[in-house]
C-alpha cells in the first residue's frame, strides 16, 4: 500500500470514528443503558460523551458524606438483564453512593460499554444540519462528532446550583457543592462547618457532618417534612425473596404511578375513620421510606383539607423529636403542603439538633447577606466557619439543556424556544429538533418516579422509534407542533389539578432566580404515561412527523 493510500485510509478511519449512527451524551443510568440497547441489541454504531472522568452520573458526582439512594435497592437498578439481576447482591435496603457507583461500573464491565464511552468530554454545542440531516456536536476539548440520532442522557439533576451569594471569593476556608464533591473526601475533624440547604441532600449531609465536625451550623431557608428512611442491611433471605420475585415486582413498578414500591390506599382520606387514618399513617412512618407520601390516601396531594390532616400529623412527629421548643418550631414546615416538595428521607436528622455542637439558623427570617473571609453573614450576625457546604440543589430538568448551545431547524436555539418553559411532546422530543431524543426530559414523569424505571421505559421507547425508522426507510422524526402544544397544555393541566404548583419548589423552577415558573415533570403517573407512549407507537407514532429517506435524499 502506497503512503498516499495509507494516509487516505487513516483520514477515512478518522472520519468514521467521528461519525456515528447515534451519539449519546451522559454516562449515568440513562446513557449506559442507551449504549447497550442501541449498540448491542440494535447493531448501531454508537458513542457516549461524558463530562466526568468516570461513568455513573449522579453516583459519580455526588460523593458527599451520607449520600445514598432513597429508593429500595432491588428496584434502584436495571431490569433488562435477568442474569445481571441475579448476579448483583445489594447489601442494604437503601444503598450508599459508592455501592450504586460500583453497580454501574459492574454493568459497564459486564456489557463491555467502556470502549465506546469517551470521558472528560463536555458537550458544548449541538447543531442540526438540515442538508445532511445529521447532528454536529462540539465539545469543550475541541472534538467534532456527527451522528444521525442524538440522545440527550444529560440527567434531570446534573446541573448543580451554587447560589449567587456575594463574597464567595473572599472566603478563606474551603467550600464545596455536594454534587461536585472531591474524590479524596474531606476531613472535617476539628472544623467549624456550615451547610446551606435542607433538602434531601442537606438532610443527609448534615446528619453525617454533625458526627464528623467540631461544630455544625445548618442554614435553613425552608423546613421540610422529612420522613424516616428505615434502612436496614439485607440478609440472604431478603435477597432470595426479591430475586425470586423480581419479575413480579418489576411488572408492578413499571405500571404503577411512581415506579416506586408503593401503591395508593385506594380511597380518599375522608372515607377513613380517624382511628384508621392514625393506623395507616403510623404504619407507613414506622416502615420508613416514601410510604406516607406515595402510598397513602388517594387525595392527599389534591385536596387541601385532606392534606392539612397529614401535614399536621407529620409536623407533630417532627416536634416530638426535638428537645428545644424554639428549634422545634423552626424545623416545622408551615408554608407548604406535605408532599408538594421532594420529601427528604432521614436517619437521625432531627436528633442532631439536640446536640451541643449543632446550631440551626433560619435564613428565611434573617437572610444570608454575604460570604466573608471568615464565614457567613446573615441579617442576624456573623457565623465563623472553616468549611462551607452548599447543599443547594440543581437547576433541575432544563438546566443541563441550557448549558449546551443546541440549535435545531433554522438555527433556533433550544433555550430560546424554551424561554417561557420547556415545550416537548411526551417529554421525549421537541418540534424543530429532529432526531434529538431526551431521556427523562422535562414533561416526562422523570423526577416524580423511581428514575431507573422511567429511564428503561424511555430508552426502550426511543429505540423502538429508531427501529421503526430503520424498518421504514425514514430519515428524520420530530413531533408536530399541534401534538407538542397539546402535550404542554395537558401536562400543565394535570399539575394544576393538584396542590404541587402552590409550593415554591424546583419542580416549578422556583429555586433558580429568573427561571420561568412552570411545572417541569409530568404528573400524570408513570403507568398511564407508559400506556400513552405505547399507544402513540402502536398508532404509527401518532403526533410525530417523519421524512422519507428517499424523498429527502432526492
Ligand atoms: P445522571 O446520572 O445525572 O447522568 C447524566 C450524566 O450526563 C452526568 O454524568 C453528566 O456529567 C453528563 N452530562 C451532562 N451534561 C453533559 C454535557 N454537556 N456533556 C457531557 N456530559 C454531560 N433517583 C431516584 O429514583 N431515587 C433516588 O433515591 C435518587 N437519589 C438521588 C440522590 C442524589 C444525591 C441525586 C443528585 C439524585 C438522585 N436521584 C434519585 C436522581 C438520579 O439522578 C437518577 O436516579 C439517575 O441516577 C439519573 O441517571 P441519568 O443517567 O439520567 O442522569
Ligand atoms: P433541593 O431539594 O433543591 O434543596 C436545596 C436546598 O438548598 C433547599 O433547602 C433550598 O431552600 C436551599 N437553598 C437553595 N438556594 C439557597 C439560598 N440561596 N439560600 C439559602 N438556601 C438555599 O436539592 P437537593 O440536592 O437537596 O435535592 C434535589 C434532588 O436531588 C433530590 O431528589 C435528591 O434526591 C437529590 P428552599 O427549599 O429552596 O427554600
Domain ranges of the chain: 3-55+113-159+396-552, 196-236+260-390
CA geometry: angle 394, 259, 77, nearest 5 deg = 75
Distance between CA atoms of residues 423 and 93, nearest Å: 37
Closest C-alpha to 24, from 6, 49, 43: 49
Confidence (pLDDT) at 17 = 53
Distance between CA atoms of residues 338 and 350, nearest Å: 17
| Proximal ligand: closest to the CA of 199 | 2
Tell me how long the chain is. 554
CB < 8 Å & 24+ apart, contacts of 80-85: 80/33, 80/36, 80/37, 80/456, 82/246, 84/110, 85/243, 85/246
CB < 8 Å & 24+ apart, contacts of 52-56: 52/27, 52/119, 52/120, 53/119, 53/120, 54/119, 55/27, 55/28, 55/104, 55/105, 55/108, 55/113, 55/114, 55/117, 55/119, 56/27, 56/28, 56/100, 56/101, 56/104, 56/105
CA distances from 228 to 41, 266, 348, 520 (A): 41, 23, 8, 27
Task: Determine how many CB atoms are found less than 10 A away from the CB of residue 160.
Answer: 17
How do the residues of the chain divide into helix, strand and coil, expressed in percent and rounded to 5?
Answer: 40, 20, 40
* CB-CB contact of 445 with 454 (8 Å): yes
Confidence (pLDDT) at 10 = 41
Q: What is the pTM of this model?
A: 0.96
* CB-CB contact of 137 with 146 (8 Å): yes
CA torsion sign for 168, 169, 171, 174 is positive
Supply the DSSP symbol for 36: I
Q: Is the CB of 508 under 6 A from ligand 2?
A: no
HSE of 193, CA atoms in CB hemisphere, 13 A: 28
Question: At the top level of CATH, which class does the domain 3-55+113-159+396-552 belong to?
Answer: alpha beta
C-alpha cell at 256: 404503577
C-alpha cell at 49: 460523551
Please give the number of the atom of ligand 2 that sits closest to the Cα of 178.
Answer: 25
Tell me the H-state helices in 176-220.
200-212
pLDDT single digits (tens) 405-431: 999 999 999 999 999 999 999 999 999
**Interstrand relation of 134-139 and 123-129 (parallel, antiparallel or unpaired):** antiparallel
Distance between CA atoms of residues 403 and 415, nearest Å: 9
Closest C-alpha to 77, from 33, 25, 34, 114: 33
User: Going by CA atoms, what residue is nearest to atom 47 of ligand 1?
Assistant: 58
Q: Is the CB of 201 under 6 A from ligand 1?
A: yes
**Interstrand relation of 144-152 and 134-139 (parallel, antiparallel or unpaired):** antiparallel
| Proximal ligand: closest to the CA of 197 | 2
Please give the number of the atom of ligand 2 that sits closest to the Cα of 222.
Answer: 39
C-alpha cell at 479: 413531533
Q: Is the CB of 67 under 6 A from ligand 2?
A: no
Q: Is the CB of 137 under 6 A from ligand 2?
A: no
Q: Per-residue DSSP letters for 369-409?
A: EEE-SSEEEETTEEEE-SEEEE---B-TTTHHHHTSEEE-G
User: Going by CA atoms, what residue is nearest to atom 2 of ligand 1?
Assistant: 57
Span from the CA of 199 to the centroid of ligand 1 (angstroms): 17
**With a cut of 50, which residues of the chain have pLDDT below it?**
1-16, 552-554
pLDDT single digits (tens) 119-159: 999 999 999 999 999 999 999 999 999 999 999 999 999 99
Q: Is the CB of 25 under 6 A from ligand 1?
A: yes
**Interstrand relation of 375-378 and 381-384 (parallel, antiparallel or unpaired):** antiparallel
Q: Is the CB of 57 under 6 A from ligand 1?
A: yes
Amino acid at each position: 500500500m502506497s503512503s498516499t493510500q495509507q494516509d487516505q485510509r487513516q483520514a477515512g478511519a478518522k472520519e468514521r470514528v467521528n461519525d456515528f449512527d447515534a451519539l449519546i451524551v451522559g454516562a449515568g443510568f440513562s446513557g449506559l443503558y442507551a449504549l447497550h440497547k442501541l449498540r448491542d441489541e440494535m447493531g448501531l454504531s454508537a458513542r457516549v460523551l461524558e463530562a466526568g472522568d468516570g461513568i455513573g452520573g449522579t453516583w459519580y458526582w455526588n460523593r458527599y458524606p451520607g449520600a445514598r439512594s432513597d429508593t429500595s435497592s432491588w428496584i434502584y437498578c436495571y431490569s433488562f438483564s435477568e442474569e445481571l439481576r441475579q448476579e448483583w447482591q445489594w447489601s442494604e435496603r437503601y444503598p450508599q453512593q459508592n455501592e450504586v457507583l460500583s453497580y454501574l461500573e459492574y454493568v459497564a464491565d459486564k456489557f463491555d460499554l467502556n470502549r465506546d464511552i469517551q470521558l472528560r468530554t463536555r458537550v458544548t454545542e449541538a447543531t442540526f444540519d438540515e442538508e445532511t440531516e445529521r447532528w454536529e456536536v462540539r465539545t469543550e476539548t475541541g472534538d467534532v462528532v456527527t451522528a444521525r440520532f442524538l440522545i440527550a442522557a444529560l440527567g434531570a439533576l446534573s446541573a448543580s446550583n451554587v447560589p449567587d451569594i456575594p463574597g464567595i471569593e473572599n472566603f478563606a476556608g474551603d467550600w464545596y457543592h455536594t454534587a461536585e464533591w472531591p474524590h479524596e473526601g474531606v476531613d472535617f475533624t476539628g472544623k467549624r462547618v456550615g451547610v446551606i440547604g435542607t433538602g434531601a441532600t442537606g438532610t443527609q449531609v448534615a446528619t453525617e457532618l454533625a458526627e464528623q465536625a467540631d461544630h455544625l451550623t445548618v442554614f435553613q431557608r425552608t423546613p421540610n417534612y422529612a420522613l424516616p428512611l428505615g434502612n436496614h442491611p439485607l440478609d440472604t433471605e431478603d435477597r432470595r425473596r426479591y430475586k425470586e420475585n423480581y419479575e413480579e415486582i418489576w411488572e408492578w413498578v413499571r405500571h404503577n404511578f411512581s415506579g416506586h414500591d408503593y401503591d395508593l390506599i385506594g380511597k380518599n382520606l375522608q372515607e377513613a375513620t380517624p382511628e384508621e387514618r392514625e393506623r395507616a399513617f403510623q404504619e407507613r412512618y414506622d416502615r420508613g421510606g416514601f410510604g406516607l407520601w406515595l402510598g397513602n390516601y388517594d387525595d392527599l396531594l389534591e385536596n387541601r383539607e385532606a392534606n392539612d390532616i397529614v401535614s399536621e400529623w407529620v409536623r407533630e412527629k417532627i416536634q416530638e423529636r426535638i428537645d428545644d421548643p424554639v428549634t422545634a418550631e423552626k424545623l416545622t414546615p408551615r408554608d407548604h403542603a406535605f408532599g408538594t416538595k421532594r420529601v427528604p428521607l432521614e436517619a437521625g436528622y432531627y436528633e442532631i439538633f439536640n446536640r451541643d455542637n449543632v446550631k440551626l439558623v433560619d435564613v428565611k427570617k434573617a437572610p444570608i447577606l454575604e460570604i466573608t473571609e471568615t464565614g457567613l453573614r446573615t441579617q442576624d450576625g456573623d457565623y465563623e466557619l472553616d468549611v462551607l457546604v452548599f447543599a443547594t440543589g440543581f437547576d433541575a430538568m432544563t438546566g443541563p439543556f441550557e448549558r449546551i448551545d443546541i440549535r435545531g431547524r433554522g438555527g433556533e436555539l433550544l433555550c430560546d424556544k424554551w424561554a417561557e418553559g420547556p415545550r416537548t411532546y411526551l417529554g421525549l422530543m421537541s418540534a424543530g429538533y429532529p432526531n434529538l431524543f431526551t431521556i427523562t426530559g422535562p414533561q416526562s414523569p422523570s423526577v416524580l418516579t423511581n428514575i431507573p424505571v422511567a429511564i428503561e421505559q424511555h430508552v426502550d421507547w426511543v429505540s423502538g422509534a429508531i427501529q421503526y425508522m430503520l424498518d421504514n426507510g425514514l430519515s428524520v422524526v420530530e413531533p408536530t407542533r399541534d401534538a407538542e402544544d397539546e402535550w404542554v397544555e395537558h401536562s400543565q393541566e394535570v399539575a394544576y389539578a393538584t396542590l404541587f404548583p402552590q409550593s415554591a419548589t424546583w419542580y416549578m423552577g422556583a429555586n433558580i432566580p429568573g427561571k420561568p415558573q412552570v411545572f417541569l415533570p409530568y404528573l400524570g403517573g408513570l403507568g398511564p404515561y407508559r400506556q400513552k407512549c405505547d399507544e402513540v407507537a402502536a398508532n404509527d407514532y401518532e403526533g410525530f412527523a417523519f421524512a422519507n429517506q428517499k424523498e429527502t435524499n432526492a
